Amino acid sequence: MISFIFKRLLQSVVVMLTVALIAFSMFRFIGDPINNMVGQDTSQADRAALTEQLGLNDPFIVQFGRFALNAAEGNFGISYKYRQPVSSLILERLSATLELSFVAAVLTLVVGIPLGVYTALKGKGLISKGIMTLSLIGVSLPTFLIGILLILLFGVVLRWLPTFGRGDVIAIGWWTTGFLTVSGIKSLILPSITLALFQMTLIMRLVRAEMLEVLRTDFIKFARARGLPDRSVHFKHALKNTLVPVITITGLQLGALIAFAIITESVFQWPGMGLLFIQAISDVDIPIMAAYLVLIAFFFVVINMVVDILYYMVDPRLRADSTA
């Protein structure tokens, strides 16, 4: 187990260094950083001095090393546009994105898994046929369209829910939360549904397919032949075996929720990292772009590692002592 985690950690470090290299190369290949920092009338001598001061004359590997070390400490430099440290900009917005993704993830699992189980068990019923048809819409409609339709219905026509922003937030240290105010919770509803809808249908269809597969296996047949009641066959034996492969996909999708919150955040003007990133692209604000890239990669790596450890715990066949 320990050597397994150690191996995974080592791999994670390699992945992070690779991503950092890509992020770092943006500085060198997308525009000249000096040009982005100084005005038109700065003299050539001042530019040269600044270049030297920023260490841009150092060899590539030294610069990359400096970047990677700073990044590891959470220091991604100064935003070109906001003239503030990138880390504090991101930190301000991190809580917004994480809260949105968290609610969307909970929605995905709480709705997706039971629906998947239901449609697998009651495949012939009218309700599950209806759910399957709806899920097809969920998979095929693009996120921004769902968002706009929801805004139109609940925001414009019915006027029940706010259509942009986070509402009132309460700060707890550097973390700001919308969970503690009514307007904050109301504001969360539409964006989180928008973000979750695609993942929800995906998880639902995955659980359904896996469950149908498991229900056909011999051990389920043998469990029935021993007279075990449906409840135990379905939820004790079938569901647990269904969830083993589902865990992997769920982990990846969780990363995707954080990363692809960009579109939802733009539609709802949600003050999260995604929105910051979109603005950074139009402003060619490379430090923010690089930081975002590294941060998202970091989330993916951490989630994947948690998934691997979970997998290890759920499936006894993978445990180290399995050769006994």
Partner 1 sequence: MDLLNINNLRIEFPSRHGTVVAVDDVSLSVQPGEVLGVVGESGAGKSTIGNAVIGLLEPPGEMTAGHVLLKSEQIDTLSAEAKRKIRGRRIGMIFQDPLTSLDPLQTIEQQLVETIDLHLKLGEKKSQERAVDLLRQVGIPEPETRIKNYPHQFSGGMRQRVVIALALCAEPEVIIADEPTTALDVSIQAQILELMRRLCKDKQVGMIIITHDMGVIADITDRVAVMYRGKVVEEGTTAKILGNPDHPYTQSLISAVPRPDIRLKRFPMVNYIEEEGERTKDIDLSTHWLGRHRDYDAVDGPLLSLKNLVMTFVTKPALLKSNRITFNAVDDVSFDINEGEVFGLVGESGSGKSTVARMVCSLYKPASGIVNFAGTDLTSIKSENERDFYRRQMQMIFQDPFSSLNGRMRVMDIIAEPIRFHKLASSNQEVEQVVNDLLDHVGLGAQASVRFPHEFSGGQRQRISIARALATRPRFLICDEPTSALDVSIQAQILNLLKDLQEELGLTMLFISHDLPVIRQMCDRVGVMKQGKLVEVSATEDLFENPTAAYTRELLDLMPRLDKLSHEGLEVEEA
Shortest distance, CB of residue 318 to partner 1, whole angstroms?
10
Q: How far is the CB of 315 from partner 1 (least distance, A)?
A: 7
Nearer to partner 1, 212 or 244 (CB): 244
Residues of the shown chain interacting with partner 1 in the complex, contacts defined by CB under 8 A: 217-219, 221-229, 232, 236-237, 240-241, 244, 314-317, 322, 324
Least distance in Å: CB of 211 to partner 1? 14
Nearest CB to partner 1, comparing residues 223 and 288: 223
d(CA 298, CA 273): 14
End-to-end CA distance of the chain: 15
Which single residue is written with the structure tokens 């307007």? Answer: 183
Of 173 and 227, nearer to partner 1 (C-beta) is 227
- Cβ burial 56-85 (10 Å sphere, 16+ → b, else e): eeeeeeebbeebbeebeeeebbebbbbeeb
Minimum CB distance to partner 1 smaller for 73 or for 218: 218
Measure the CA–CA gap between 246 and 206, rounded to whole angstroms. Answer: 7
CA distance 164 to 313: 41
Q: Which of 309, 268, 232, 324 has the alpha carbon at shortest distance from 9?
A: 309
Residue whose C-alpha is closest to residue 74's, from 82, 57, 86: 86
**At closest approach, how far in Å is the CB of 219 from partner 1?**
5
Q: How far apart are CA 9 and CA 57, in angstroms?
A: 33
The Cα–Cα gap between 261 and 94 comes to 12
Return the amino acid letter for 56.
Answer: L
78 beta partners: 85
Question: Which of 179/219 has CB closer to partner 1?
Answer: 219
DSSP notation for 269-285: T--SHHHHHHHHHHTT-
Of residues 200 and 238, the one with the C-beta less far from partner 1: 238
Find the shortest distance in angstroms from Cβ 225 to partner 1.
4
**Residue among 159 and 226 whose Cβ is closer to partner 1:** 226
Q: Locate tokens 């239901």: which residue?
A: 118
| In the complex, minimum distance from the CB of residue 253 to partner 1, in angstroms, rounded to a whole number | 22
Least distance to partner 1 from the beta carbon of 324, Å?
A: 6
